[in-house]
Chain A
């Protein structure tokens, strides 16, 4: 059952009013323009035991995504395709408002939005992940781990997932006897095949003002959010409206335009990172404040 939540953390009223007042003037409390992302830092392969991993820092939000690739069975209705599973964990160390326990509606929503945004434009080439049609395929587990919540979890999760998947390697396997497979996940043979890069652009909406990449303070004050996923061809490959207020048709059209532009910026960033991955291989260390 979904229950109206209490908005947390509670902001001082003066700060909440200041955020709105500035938005009306086209300004933000952290000095960004309305359409700007916060600084983004990326580290590839922080977790050597995963088949692919990345650590993304977006402003003060930090996400680690680990990809594990295992042999498993295909879905009965898709015998000639590999399987993708996306999960998100909002662990209690990430925020004073998170409690331990099974995934709540917010983490399920993030995981499902990332899942759909990857699945629908066929970001991963599942046809190439078949070992024995109808019997054995590669199952790709994409686990999103939020370790510090500073707002806009979706875009950080999507960026981190895309980078972890695009750098993931398929483990080596042998068929010892017919139908018996042995996987050696210390050896890797090929990269996970990627068809297209995808990015999500999350925007907060106040009346007809749109702000890209809302910080946690802005998330508490704003009531409506739109996440729009775009692929390399400039197509819209996923939308999720969140929050308790509505939007007009005109605002939606503006948001799509902004998403195409800023999504292009994020995809260029991902491409730049993937072209020179060794520049981004650094030991795991979290942001210093």
Chain B
């Protein structure tokens, strides 16, 4: 029972979380678009202490040639954590976790990109977690979709990610690392809010069916808030460019 007693409380007496948030409150979201010169599109996304950089190259020649598809673009996604992004240094070699997350992020992006407009090419999406404080796959998915938009690649919608957790029996929006580690469940969700589709969904933990439904609702509301910030960040870059031209 020692492990249980050493587990920190995640909620204060007044029901707020250790960082002062309400259960349904996001961490401060910061999004900057076009932060890299070489990439065709890029974005820096911060959810509180989580900082993720995404860059898009392409559509470009698919190499090696055997990965090219005759009827659509090939998507290549790498989710990767910087060695300094975690409390203890993370080996830069791709872990099994990173391989799995690269796959689920790629699959979440496949259906929003009009890839059939660019047959035989590849669209390469690189996600680097610079600092990990919970919700890195969802922040990475958000950053990737904004970088795709910044690269001018036609898309049905942005895909915005956010994680819902369960802490001390309560559902909590946008959990941080501590809440993920000591909480009872982690539900990362990726949503395209305009077309109303869930594109990424995983559950690591135990929930009742009712909690799962409520968790998706909570994620949906969080995604709608982040979506506004994302759109403003994209507008800000292009309005600035437009005014410079004027």
The docked-state distance in angstroms from the alpha carbon of A65 to that of B103 is: 25
7 further interface pairs, Cβ-Cβ under 8 Å (given A239-B203, A246-B192):
A103-B96, A112-B96, A120-B185, A235-B208, A239-B201, A249-B216, A253-B213
Looking at chain A's contact residues, the main secondary structure is: mixed
A242 adjacent to chain B (CB < 8 Å): yes
Q: Which residues of B contact A80 (CB under 8 A)?
A: 2-3
**Contact partner, B203, options A4, A109, A234, A236, Cβ 8 Å:** A236
**By the criterion CB–CB under 8 Å, are A236 and B103 in contact?**
no
**Contact partner, A242, options B76, B107, B196, B197, Cβ 8 Å:** B107
**Contact partner, B74, options A3, A226, A231, A248, Cβ 8 Å:** A3
B77 adjacent to chain A (CB < 8 Å): yes
Can you report 23 A-B residue pairs in the complex whose CB atoms are below 8 A from each other? Answer: A2-B78, A3-B76, A3-B106, A4-B69, A4-B73, A4-B115, A108-B96, A108-B100, A120-B206, A238-B203, A238-B204, A239-B203, A240-B104, A240-B201, A240-B202, A241-B198, A241-B202, A244-B110, A246-B197, A247-B201, A248-B196, A252-B201, A253-B213
Q: CB-CB contacts of A1-32 with B at 8 A, as 1s and 0s?
A: 11110100000000000000000000000000
The docked-state distance in angstroms from the alpha carbon of A252 to that of B216 is: 10
**By the criterion CB–CB under 8 Å, are B207 and A105 in contact?**
no
A35 adjacent to chain B (CB < 8 Å): no
Q: CB-CB contacts of A219-257 with B at 8 A, as 1s and 0s?
A: 000010010000100111111111111111100110011
**Contact partner, A2, options B72, B99, B196, B199, Cβ 8 Å:** B99
**By the criterion CB–CB under 8 Å, are B209 and A256 in contact?**
yes
The range of chain A's interface size is 35 or more
A250 and chain B: residue at smallest CB distance: B196
**By the criterion CB–CB under 8 Å, are A4 and B213 in contact?**
no
Looking at chain B's contact residues, the main secondary structure is: mixed
Q: Which residues of B contact A271 (CB under 8 A)?
A: none
A121 adjacent to chain B (CB < 8 Å): yes
The docked-state distance in angstroms from the alpha carbon of A105 to that of B94 is: 11
Known: A2-B77, A4-B69, A4-B74. A245 touches B207 (CB 8 A): no
**By the criterion CB–CB under 8 Å, are A235 and B206 in contact?**
yes
Q: CB-CB contacts of A247-279 with B at 8 A, as 1s and 0s?
A: 111001100110010000000000000000000
B230 adjacent to chain A (CB < 8 Å): no
**By the criterion CB–CB under 8 Å, are A4 and B110 in contact?**
yes
The docked-state distance in angstroms from the alpha carbon of A152 to that of B97 is: 22
The docked-state distance in angstroms from the alpha carbon of A249 to that of B189 is: 12
B102 adjacent to chain A (CB < 8 Å): yes
Q: Which residues of A contact B204 (CB under 8 A)?
A: 116, 120, 238
A78 adjacent to chain B (CB < 8 Å): yes
**By the criterion CB–CB under 8 Å, are A4 and B106 in contact?**
yes
B86 adjacent to chain A (CB < 8 Å): no
Output the residue of A78, A109, A231 with the most chain B CB within 10 A: A109
The docked-state distance in angstroms from the alpha carbon of A111 to that of B202 is: 14
B205 adjacent to chain A (CB < 8 Å): yes
B175 adjacent to chain A (CB < 8 Å): no
**Contact partner, A248, options B96, B105, B197, B202, Cβ 8 Å:** B197
Q: CB-CB contacts of B1-42 with A at 8 A, as 1s and 0s?
A: 011000000000000000000000000000000000000000
